[in-house]
Structure 1
Amino acid sequence: MPVRTSPTARQLRVGAELRKLRERAGLSSTEAARLLGIKQAQVSNMETGRLGVSSDRVRMLAGQYDCADKDLIEGIVGMTGERKRGWWEEYRDILPAILLDLAEVEHHSTLLRTAVTVHIPGLFQTTDYAREIFRQDVPELPPSDIEHRISFRVKRQAVLYRNPPTPHQAIIHEAALRMRFGGSTVTRAQLKHLLDMTEREHIAVHVIPFAAGTFPGSGQSIYFSAGTVPQLDTVNLDQSHGPVFLDAEAQLGKYRVLLDRMEASALSPSKSQDFIHDVIQDL
């Protein structure tokens, strides 16, 4: 199998999980290679996502590393095998690779949790609202790039409409509801769309009103993608230079707690619907 030159975030994650299994077994990469009867370079390439691994190889590695967590093993197995081209591949030479990685992680998630303070979550954005967001990028994006990013975002939203759809729990601060990106007309249409989305059974929106005061995690956007088992969850922090993926156990635990505490500071879904309706009336 040829060595990859640019593994995706999902492929990197498989390698990282294999490295964790080896390290928990107390083995160096050289010791693991000797135990497995392969070259040390092969172990390194598997753990950096540069060399693909089959489902059988994952199970064999787990056995040699004395991993008894069957759910975790099958979760990793589900991330391996022959790479299938997702719809995002058509953007491979058009958009930054990290955005394609985000779409791939999103596509395979079993649950999405978002917390935002300034923008409406991307999967809920209308095209006009998204266009205003992209127009604020630094450096300024050419009009053609903006349109590519809008079409990419719209296609990402398909995870909310497929059968079965991916559950989405969103925590939105009042500031995000009142920011008038594109003026009152665009904002009103965006909030009405958000209200329509809250009517779907798999979507829960919690609003944190200004009156709630301070709350944990304020000032940052968090995007949490659940895997088939908790160990395979992923946190995405949206930075000006692009998404940043986190998957260390301590990091995952921290952001689970942050999201739980932020949700505890927010209104219930039904009260949040009423709140969004009131904001629309104020426009």
Structure 2
Amino acid sequence: MAGRTAATARRLRLAAELRKLRERAGLTATEAAAAVGTSSGQLSNVETARFGVSADRVRAMAHAYSCCDQALVDALAGMAGDRTKGWWELYRDVLPPGLLDLSELEHHAGALRTAYTAHMPGLLQTADHARVVFRQVVPELSPPEIEHRVSHRIKRQEVLYRADPTPYRTIVHEAALRMEFGGRQVARQQLDHVLRMAELDHVQVLVIPFAVGAFPGSGQSIGYASGPVPQLDTVHLDQSHGPVLLDAESQLAKYRTLLDRMEATALGAEKSREFIRTLLRNL
């Protein structure tokens, strides 16, 4: 077991899931440690993400805990076996940890769903639009800090461009589409970019017009990242103090339902593209 100086959200999630498996098996930490051939102290370090854990040890723990969900065991072993450092590590000294956790979450997600009412989706923002957004951060960011955040946001978008792109479906309210961040020229370039991305097979942009009126989830920015199995899905809420990640089963169910209802309220994909085209022509 290897020690880590800073546990990422992904490592913390693995540790939490292993603890859940033990607790569901009705084993104390001492009993579980004996069953897998380690000490209770080492097991505690694994369950708190102070130590990393190998894929083989994860499988041994799952067997000791009588876990019969092979898909979940395989997914957890995959999380443990992936020791590669992602591109986001280059930003560790210049950005808040929460933004790096978000990058890692998106990188590993099997599919992404988001919903925005006042902002463009981060994965669809142009650099000029993002730069305007970060200039409004309180407390104010320095020019270098702004550029670090802009480059990080654009780098996150690689999940939509790689050889095996991540399926992405986003709900955008008309208010976000009409806001002229950075003036008309920047706004036109932003709308044009969203429209071009919406034409991709793996990207779906669904618009909720003003005419809809009230709808579930209004006022929230929501992200939903699908894991290799549903138990490892994660909800991302975008707050002014940084990203908040949720993974309790009840929370996952709540936000799946909320996104489903928001999508039912929105225009279909083709009507949404035509809606954006109309806004672009009139801008």
Normalised by the shorter chain, which TM-score bucket?
over 0.9
Query: 1:37 maps to what in 2?
Result: 37
1:52 and 1:81 in contact (8 A); partners too: no
Q: Between Structure 1 and Structure 2, how many residues are aligned? A: 283
Residue 198 of structure 2 corresponds to 198
| Structure 1: distance between partners of 2:174 and 2:70 | 43
1:170·1:204 contact (CA, 8 Å) conserved in 2? yes
TM, length-normalised to structure 1: 0.98
Cα distance, 1:82 vs structure 2: 5.3
State the match for 2:262 in structure 1.
262
Instruction: Quote the offset at 1:183 in angstroms.
Output: 1.2
Alignment partner of 1:140: what SS? coil
Q: Which runs of 5+ in 2 are unaligned?
A: none
Residue aligning to 1:78: 78
Spell out the pairing of 1:90-105 with structure 2 (5 A cutoff): 90-105=90-105
SS at match of 1:79: helix
Please name the residue that 1:164 is paired with. 164
Give the alignment of 1:1-283 within 5 angstroms.
Answer: 1-81=1-81, 83-283=83-283
List structure 1 runs of 4+ shifted beyond 3 angstroms. Answer: none
Q: Which consecutive unaligned segments of at least 5 residues does structure 1 have?
A: none
Counterpart-to-counterpart distance in 2, 1:4 and 1:29: 21
Secondary structure of 2:43's counterpart equals: helix
Would the aligned equivalents of 1:171 and 1:262 in 2 still touch at CA under 8 Å?
A: yes
CA apart distance, 1:88: 0.9
CA-CA distance at 1:30 after TM superposition: 2.6
Whole-angstrom CA distance in 1 between matches of 2:220 and 2:27: 38
Point out the more displaced range, 100-109 or 40-49.
40-49
What amino acid is aligned across from residue 178 of structure 1 in structure 2?
R
CA distance in 1, matches of 2:24, 2:210: 45
3-state secondary structure, aligned to 2:10: helix
Whether the 8 Å CA contact 1:235–1:245 is kept in 2: the answer is yes
1:26 maps to a residue whose letter is G
Q: What whole-Å deviation, never above 9, does each CA across 1:233-281 have from its counterpart, x for those lacking one?
A: 1111011110011011111111111100100000000000011111112
- Percent sequence identity over aligned pairs: 62
AA aligned to 2:57 is R
| Structure 2 CA distance for aligned equivalents of residues 82 and 255 of structure 1 | 28
Q: One-letter code of the match for 1:93?
A: D
